[in-house]
Structures are given as structure tokens and as C-alpha cells.
Structure 1
Amino acid sequence: MAQVLEFRLPDLGEGLTEAEIVRWLVEVGDVVAVDQPVVEVETAKAMVDVPCPYAGVVTARFGEEGSELPVGSPLITVAVGAPASDPDSDAGTEGSGNVLVGYGTTEAPARRRRVRREQQVPVPVNGRSAAPEVVEGPVPVISPLVRRLARENGLDLRELTGSGPDGLILRADVEYALRAAASPGRPAPALTPETTVASPATASPTPAGTRVPLKGVRGAVADKLSRSRSEIPDATCWVDADATELMRARAAMNGAGGPKISLLALLARICTAALARFPELNSTVDTAAREIVRLDAVHLGFAAQTERGLVVPVVKDAHARDAESLSAEFARLTEAARTGTLTPAELTGGTFTLNNYGVFGVDGSTPIINHPEAAMLGVGRIIPKPWVHEGELAVRQVVQLSLTFDHRVCDGGTAGGFLRYVADCVEQPAVLLRTL
């Protein structure tokens, strides 16, 4: 006798209360193994696969792709112990009882027992397109954002032939199809996964515009920045620095062989050395207890722009890493951010943020502190500028550095001392030898 068990959206941790269903990985009637991912969801922190703790036959799914579910709401029901036509079925196996978001807790999941959604691939015959041929497998799409773009505009991805490697459907493929569908006789404007809202004739004279839902990553960023602005009395100081010697030092390091050292890693190493001298800036404020909590470890966050928006991965124990280790960790986290595979643990727990907005081609900024941290170091672009060097005018590689800090944790003297030390290390990297 089969027992039907209900699997609910698990607590995703770090204050996350809801998730958006991006893609179902199982259909009703599929046989699932213990810890097999059953749905891909997007939280305010990351894109993760949710594994099911039961083995059996899926009897129901709750929620459509694109809908949001609160933590604790039903995801699927599974008939445990149900008979299966496949003799290799694991459907009687007891559940693990564990759900670790984004990872399995046992061996790899069993293969799917049913054919997944089919892809229609046109097959050319004598140079002309023939009836579509049915091919097993999911429609290959470069990212969930592209899938959402098609879904929100009513486009069936199975009717497209991707221009990417191995038929991968790119955003350009979807936008081209949408333009063609909108106006066969003339080009249509590019569409985005947003809803254009026009004011009805009988409504108030609100102009037509585009409404973008504040949810997912964008919603989480909005909430955190609003809280930071309302709670933290911040101030910003800045200084120009001659980065010529730092660039030369990096070139010498990379010319000596071995793994390449990134500029971001060198700036991070300077940050951790400065925080060792000015620990007030590696702290947080406990407003309920009216206490400043100075933190022992430096968990360094860094801003990374992705298709899903701005995320801040965290390099744990940055103070204990050398430049080579920092380079490797920055590269790993940046790639995970680009592919949307960062885990909640990799996006939380930061104590200080390094914001390299110079990659956007700008010199300066006054960023909002990443609550509940107490400070953020900003780095602008490094470009040739006239500079007085050793008493003479010369062309040097100049960068603007800024420090935004919580004025509750320190005064301007401490903030200025921190920033001046960072600038000294940028101008004379040998200053760092004192702390190595």
C-alpha cells in the first residue's frame, strides 16, 4: 500500500521567506530517487535546485513556473512504496529526511523514468523545412532569464532553433522571434521580461510606462539598501592615489610564473591589512543592545554584476589568505555568480565590502553600505593622468579611492587613517611588507 507524503518548500535560511519556481525538473507520474532535485527555484540570494527527501512516484505538483511560493507551502506529493512499471525503480526506498538546498545528500539521482518535455526540431528536406521531428529532452536555453522572457511573452521555446552551440537558445534568438511575431511587416522594438502598462482611457492621466516587479534579487537589494539608508548614518571620504607602482608590482608577480594574481586580489590584501590596523571598520552595530560588535574575522564581500542583478559574494576568512589564494577564490565566486550557482552561504556573512566600480568606467561613487556591515571601500578606474611625481609633472596611473563608513562605529579620523593607509599601499606596495 503506497503512502502519499507531502514535501514542502524548505526553510532556505538567512531570512529568506519565499522563492520563485524557475523550472520543474519532474512531471506528475515520474519516479524520483532520494535527494533527486525536483525543482529549480530562484531566491533573493541565488538560483538553487531543491532535492526531495523521499523516493517514490510524483502524484502532484504545486505552483506554475514563474510563480512565487512562501517557505512551508507544498511543492510536490510523492507516493512512497507505490508500484512502478520500471523494474529499476527506487520507489520503495525510505526518504533521507534531509534537504540541503542546492546539493544532494546521497549518491547521484536515478535517471528519469518518463520522457521530459519534448523539443520540436525542424529537419530540412531537399533544402526546405519539413515537419518538426520530436526529440527527447528539455529545451536547451542559455539561462533561466531567457526562459522567463519567452514564457512572459507567450513564446513556445520548442518552436525555436537556437543559434548557440549545439542548438542552445540565446536571448537574441528569443528577441528576434518576438519581434517577428509582433510585426511581420516591420521590425518591432526589443522586448524585455517586463510588463508594459498603458493607462486606460477612463483612468487617471497616469502616463504609460513599464512596471518592473521588485522581487527576487532586485527586491532583496531594494529592501537591504532601504534599511541601510534608514538605519545607518553614513559618511564618505575619498582620495586620489598613484597606482603606477602597484600595477608594476602586479606585472612583476605575474611575470615570475605560477598562477596569475588579479588586481582585485591585491586590493583585497591591502584591505585586510588596513582593517588589521583599523578594526573599528570591521564591525557591526547591535541596535537593540546599543553596542558596537568588533569582529575577529574579515569576511570580504565584493560586488559582482550579473544578468540577475547585483550580487555580493563573500570571501570567507580573507584576512588569512595570501594574494594567490584570494585570486583563486575571487575567480571561483565570480564564475558562480555569472552562472547563478552561488549558494546562500556564499552570499551572506560579509563583514566588509570591496566595490570595484572602476570596471564600469567611472572614477568615483558614494555607495550605500551593505547592511549590517559598517564600511565599504570603493575603487574607481585606473587611468593615465597628469601627476606630480618626485617634484616633476608626469603621466601616472591614477585611481580614486573612497570609503563610505557608519559614523556610529568611528569618527572621521579613523576613517581617514584607514583610507590613507590603503592609498599608501597602492602608491608604495612595499608598505605591505610590514604586515606579510
Structure 2
Amino acid sequence: MVANMVDVVRIPKLGLSDYGDLVAWEFDTGDRVEEGDVVAVLESEKASAEIEAPASEVLLEQYVEEGEEIAIEVGKPLAVIGEEGESAPSVAELEDDGGSDDGRSSADEAAASPNAGSAGAEANGGTAAAAADVKATPRAKRRANDEDVDLTGIDGTGPQGAVTENDIEAFLESGDGASAGGGDESDSDGGSTADVKATPRAKRRAEEEGVELSRVDGTGPQGAITEDDVVEFASGGGDHGPDASASASGESSGDGLTVTDSRELTGARKTIAERLSESAREKPHVMGTREIGIERLEEVTDRLQENGVDVSLNDLVLHFVGRTLEDLPEFNAHFEDGEHRLIDEVNVGYAVDSEKGLVVPVIDDAPNRDLEELASERRRLVDAVLENEHEPSDLQGGTFTVTNVGVFDMDVSYSIINPPQVAILALGRRKPMPVERDGDVEFERGMTFSLTIDHRALDGADSGAFLDRLAEYLEYPGRAFDAV
């Protein structure tokens, strides 16, 4: 049971993705912290989040190492603070408290409940009946049910001998747990993956990485392959395959080329890579382009600036993109669970090239903002990203994304859609474009707009309609700004 005087530093509700890195501890064990001090920094989903101390006490114990990748779960304990010299509880005790700091243990609740563990007892006969008598925390029971683990075969280390979620995890990582739920695979051909002893996590990771488990050397109990073994193999960390030597600088790759530098993806860069790879695999991307004149739009920008309105041409483009999304709501949408979900709010993401990679802050209610307000919000978001001072909330709620590749002197970009959105628009560089008028060819300033769509939700005709409507706004902005 957790001492009542200890305060737990837990992960609050952040709106980040499922996994992230604890990139920094701002205090060491034994340091005194004040309530509200930032004690740790988490990084996930292209954003950083600061974790604050809940009270003014001494940092007694850190449960996560700096640089460690962890599951971003609300209530997950990261550290404890308390009076100097006070003993720190174990992670198992904290987790079994169910996220509260009042010293109440889920194991105690399980022991007090006469029906604890009885769910599903009839389904498995005597085994389930025996499991019903096992003292276990609710989290342990859920995990055992998910992994098809028999609780009667696990020694509990929790209060009063209760089985905790950590006990389930230890069992799964052990040689005995590696084969849980997989007895039917023993008749497979010799040398197959089914004959390889590996933990459930290792099997899932191997499937994600496309790794053949029979090629991996296990370092777990009884030679079982662990998730770390799979990760090391996939990254070429050992002598497991022809490309393993490519991980070291100066050594040769599998095709005989010399590797001068090998850079492991971590933190935000790793998250970006995973999300965009997933989008490229799952979404059938189709791109269409159109050259649109911007001379009148530049004139409007100049007139607004002369009248004291601090806006750029890109701000006007963002405004008109928002209006186009209002006109064609099928683009202002998400594709999730096989459904094309149209969104009421029009929140335009604006991609920013930062030191940590491409980050997409979101301008809420883009078409209905005052132009000066929209421009101010865009500048604030861009500055926050470049200074790495943006909040997770700055990146949430996007319904469509705009990326400006013109700053790199590019015209066209086959951009990857930011999931779960259904389209992304790339702005090319400003350039002279030939325009035919009454048989004469003249040059006017314009830009190439590249629209990439998710073909599951949208078609080529939809792309044409979007670019046509956007062109009407950009080439004849006076129709929309009667007062200008």
C-alpha cells in the first residue's frame, strides 16, 4: 500500500499519441522541487509536454529513464516526491492504486469483493473456477484476459499476494509465458516462426518490423526472444543478417557501399516517420496540380498593408483555402474506421519545417477569423514551433493541411496526407506564367498548387472542383472582399 504522504508525478491528460520519449529530467533524485516546477519533459506526436510537480517536496524516485520510450497513458507514474528520507513505493504499488494517491490498493478492493475474478468462470470449467479464487488486481485480470493467461499459474507480488499487472508482464516475458495461447502452433513445420520461443510483445514487434523470428537470437529466460531482441535485429545491432554491419560508420552495407554515418530516428523525427509511413501505406494517394494567377491577390495584399493590416499573401491563401473547404465540405474531413467523416469545424494545419522535422500547427476556424487575427495566429504558431515552445493543443484538431514548398524554390510536391485527414495542398513558388488573352501570350505572376487526395474518399473530379473553386477566389479576390 502506498504511503499517504507520498505525492506521485503522473502523466496528465495531454492529447499526445500512444507512445513517446521522456526526453529530459529537469531534477535529479534527492533534489527539492517546488509545486509547479517542470520536473520532466515528454515528447510525442511532434510535440513536447512539460510535466509539473504536484507539491513542494523532495524527488524520491524516478521510474522512467531519460530517453526511454514509454506508453503515454493518463495516470502512469513517472516519479514520486515526498519528505526527505521517506521510502518510495514500487511502480507495482502505484499502478495497483489505480491512479489515486490516497494509499488505496486495487488489490485490497479485489480481496474485499466476493465475486472478484469470477467473470467467465463457466466458460473454462475447472480452470476458470480456480482462476476465480485467485487474488488479482482489476488491471491484472484485464491483461490476463487480453493475453489468454491462466492466473492460477502466476505468483502474485502485490499486497496480500495479489497478482498485479506487472506480474502478468513478467510471466509473459518469461519462458513459460512466451508460449501462452499458442499451443496450437506446435504442429507447424520445423524451423517455422511458430516453433520459435518469443514473448507476445516480441511477436507483435516482429510482425510490425517484418522480422523473421527464426533469425533472431533470444536473450530472455530460457532463450526466449524479447522485444529488445527484435528491435536490435531490425536496427542491425548484431550479427543477425547481411545488412547488420551497415549500422556502424565506416563499415560496408550489404551491397558493398561504405556507410559514412548512421543516424537512428528518435523522438519527434521517429514519430513523424512512423505516421507518414502509415499514411503512405494505407491511403491511396492521388495528386492533381493547377497553375493559378496571383497578381490580383498580391494587389489586395499590398492594399491591405497600406491600410495598416499586417497580412501576407500566404495568409490570404489560407483564408481562401478555408472558404473553399466550407464550400466543398467533403475535403474538410477525416477517414477513420472505413468512414468518410465530414467535420463541421474548419481548422487548417500549416506545415512548418523545424529542427525536429515537419510540424503542423493548426489555425482554428480559419475562414471566419478576421484577416489580421488569422495572420497573427499564423505567426504565433510558426514562431512557437521554430522555438520549440508550442503546446500539444497547438497541433490538435486539424481537418486539412497546407504546406508551402515554394520556400524551397519548388513548384510541385507530391505530399503525404496527414492522417486521418483526406487531403493536403502544397503551395509552389511564385513565378511568371504564360497566359493567353485574345490570341496574345503575356506573362503574369502565379503559383502551382498541388492537391493530394485520399482516393478512398475523393476522386479526380473532386480535386478538379477544389482547385477550380480555389482559383476563383485567388484570381478574383475582389469578389470576396467587396470593401477592399
Q: TM exceeds 0.5?
A: yes
Provide closer, same or farther for how the CA distance between residues 280 and 215 of structure 1 changes in structure 2, counting only shifts above 3 A: same
CA shift for structure 1 position 35: 2.4
1:79 matched residue in structure 2: 82
Provide closer, same or farther for how the CA distance between residues 338 and 53 of structure 1 changes in structure 2, counting only shifts above 3 A: same
- Structure 2 counterpart of 1:282, one-letter code: N
Provide closer, same or farther for how the CA distance between residues 232 and 39 of structure 1 changes in structure 2, counting only shifts above 3 A: same
Residues 169-180 of structure 1 mapped to structure 2, 5 A cutoff: none
Matched, 1:227 2:278: yes
Q: Alignment partner for residue 7 of structure 1, among 5, 9, 20?
A: 9
- Structure 2 counterpart of 1:261, one-letter code: V
SS at 1:422 equivalent: helix
Residues 27-42 of structure 1 mapped to structure 2, 5 A cutoff: 27-42=28-43
Q: Alignment partner for residue 315 of structure 1, among 348, 360, 363?
A: 363
1:392 matched residue in structure 2: 440
Aligned residues of 2:46 and 2:269 also touching (Cα < 8 A): no
Larger Rg: 2
CA shift for structure 1 position 235: 1.2
Q: CA RMSD in A?
A: 3.0
SS at 1:197 equivalent: coil
2:252 & 2:343 partners in 1: Cα distance? 55
1:339 matched residue in structure 2: 387
- Between stretches 26-35 and 261-270, larger displacement belongs to 26-35
SS at 1:210 equivalent: coil
Q: Alignment partner for residue 323 of structure 2, among 251, 273, 285?
A: 273
- Structure 2 counterpart of 1:16, one-letter code: D
- Structure 2 counterpart of 1:397, one-letter code: R
| Equivalences, count | 322
2:425 matched residue in structure 1: 377
1:429 matched residue in structure 2: 477
CA shift for structure 1 position 316: 1.4
SS at 1:265 equivalent: helix
CA shift for structure 1 position 10: 4.7
1:379 & 1:357 partners in 2: Cα distance? 6
CA shift for structure 1 position 65: 4.3
2:262 matched residue in structure 1: 211
Aligned residues of 1:45 and 1:343 also touching (Cα < 8 A): no
Task: For CA contacts below 8 A with separation 6 or more, give which structure has more relative contact order.
Answer: 1
Provide closer, same or farther for how the CA distance between residues 397 and 51 of structure 1 changes in structure 2, counting only shifts above 3 A: same
Aligned residues of 1:283 and 1:409 also touching (Cα < 8 A): no
Residues 31-430 of structure 1 mapped to structure 2, 5 A cutoff: 31-63=32-64, 65-71=66-72, 74-80=77-83, 197-199=249-251, 207-257=258-308, 259-287=309-337, 290-389=338-437, 391-430=439-478
Provide closer, same or farther for how the CA distance between residues 68 and 246 of structure 1 changes in structure 2, counting only shifts above 3 A: same
2:178 matched residue in structure 1: none
2:443 & 2:329 partners in 1: Cα distance? 35
SS at 1:35 equivalent: coil
2:346 & 2:270 partners in 1: Cα distance? 27
Q: Which runs of 5+ in 2 are unaligned?
A: 87-99, 102-246
Aligned residues of 2:352 and 2:359 also touching (Cα < 8 A): yes
1:213 & 1:266 partners in 2: Cα distance? 39
- Between stretches 297-306 and 13-22, larger displacement belongs to 13-22
Normalising by structure 2, what TM-score?
0.60
Q: Which has the higher strand share?
A: 1
- Structure 2 counterpart of 1:285, one-letter code: F
- Between stretches 389-398 and 353-362, larger displacement belongs to 389-398
- Structure 2 counterpart of 1:349, one-letter code: G
CA shift for structure 1 position 339: 0.9
Provide closer, same or farther for how the CA distance between residues 269 and 406 of structure 1 changes in structure 2, counting only shifts above 3 A: same
- Structure 1 counterpart of 2:347, one-letter code: H
- Structure 1 counterpart of 2:19, one-letter code: T
1:302 & 1:198 partners in 2: Cα distance? 39
1:67 & 1:275 partners in 2: Cα distance? 41
- Between stretches 238-247 and 63-72, larger displacement belongs to 63-72
- How far does the alpha carbon of each residue in 1:49-95 deviate from its partner, in whole angstroms, 9 at most, with x for none? 21021321122335554444444665333124879xxxxxxxxxxxx
- Between stretches 326-335 and 216-225, larger displacement belongs to 216-225
Q: Which has the higher helix share?
A: 2
2:11 & 2:257 partners in 1: Cα distance? 39
Aligned residues of 1:33 and 1:56 also touching (Cα < 8 A): yes
SS at 1:408 equivalent: coil
CA shift for structure 1 position 33: 2.1
- How far does the alpha carbon of each residue in 1:227-246 deviate from its partner, in whole angstroms, 9 at most, with x for none? 21222222111111111111
Normalising by structure 1, what TM-score?
0.67
1:218 & 1:389 partners in 2: Cα distance? 48
2:221 matched residue in structure 1: none
CA shift for structure 1 position 420: 0.9
1:307 & 1:46 partners in 2: Cα distance? 12
2:148 matched residue in structure 1: none
1:21 matched residue in structure 2: 23
